[in-house]
């Protein structure tokens, strides 16, 4: 079975305020967690998108809410937080906040270790859209390949 990205439908959560422009077909819908998933795989595949200001907000006033989100994401087979910034921007403190860069980078590393969720620092919105496209497609493709091997087809 060949998976065609043009036949997949990405669900963009209704709470996502600035949706990425993806190359796959998208619809708006309510996801149990995260910002992006694939129709039919909402309980297996999830992406949380963050701009750098959003991520910094998750380290301060929104920390408890974000950690609950990460806790929910743990149960997903394929999950990632995709950040519209570079690691270097985080390290240099290129954001408006009193939080110092060492604390910010340690928070991200702590979350990756505690919740076993990768954070992909991709640089900008266009790269974030590209990363979301590839992550969702590859995750669904992997699911189908494992299913095919189990069924012996």
Question: At which residue do the structure tokens 């309980």 appear?
Answer: 43
Write down the pTM of the prediction: 0.92
| pLDDT number for residue 77 | 95
Whether the predicted pLDDT of 5 surpasses 80: no
3-state secondary structure at position 50:
strand
| pLDDT number for residue 103 | 97
| pLDDT number for residue 149 | 80
Share of residues in the chain with pLDDT > 90 (%)? 86
Distance CA 83, CA 48 (A): 9
Secondary structure element (H or E) that encloses residue 57, with its range: helix 52-59
pLDDT band at 81 (very low <50, low <70, confident <90, very high): very high
Other beta carbons within 10 angstroms of residue 80's beta carbon come to 23
What are the structure tokens assigned to 48, written together?
Answer: 């949380």
| pLDDT number for residue 2 | 61
Distance CA 23, CA 130 (A): 8
Q: What is the pLDDT of residues 46-55, one digit of tens each?
A: 999 999 999 9
pLDDT band at 57 (very low <50, low <70, confident <90, very high): very high
Distance CA 127, CA 112 (A): 21
| pLDDT number for residue 148 | 76
What are the structure tokens assigned to 15, written together?
Answer: 């709470």
Beta carbons within 8 Å of 152's beta carbon, 6+ residues apart:
none
Question: Phi, psi at residue 11, to the nearest 5°?
Answer: -95, 125
> Which has more pLDDT, 6 or 40?
40
């Amino acid at each position: 079975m060949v998976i065609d990205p043009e036949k997949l439908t990405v669900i963009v959560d209704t709470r996502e305020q600035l949706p990425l422009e993806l190359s796959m077909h998208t619809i708006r819908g309510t996801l149990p967690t995260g910002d992006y998933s694939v129709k039919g795989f909402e309980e297996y595949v999830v992406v949380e998108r963050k701009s750098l200001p959003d991520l910094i907000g998750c380290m301060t006033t929104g920390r408890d809410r974000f950690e609950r989100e990460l806790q929910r994401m743990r149960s997903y087979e394929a999950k990632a937080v995709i950040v519209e910034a570079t690691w270097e921007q985080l390290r240099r403190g290129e954001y408006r906040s009193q939080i110092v860069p060492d604390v910010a980078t340690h928070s991200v590393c702590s979350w990756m270790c505690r919740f076993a969720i990768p954070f992909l620092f991709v640089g900008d919105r266009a790269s974030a859209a590209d990363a979301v496209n590839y992550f969702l497609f590859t995750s669904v493709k992997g699911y189908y390949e494992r299913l095919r091997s189990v069924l012996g087809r």
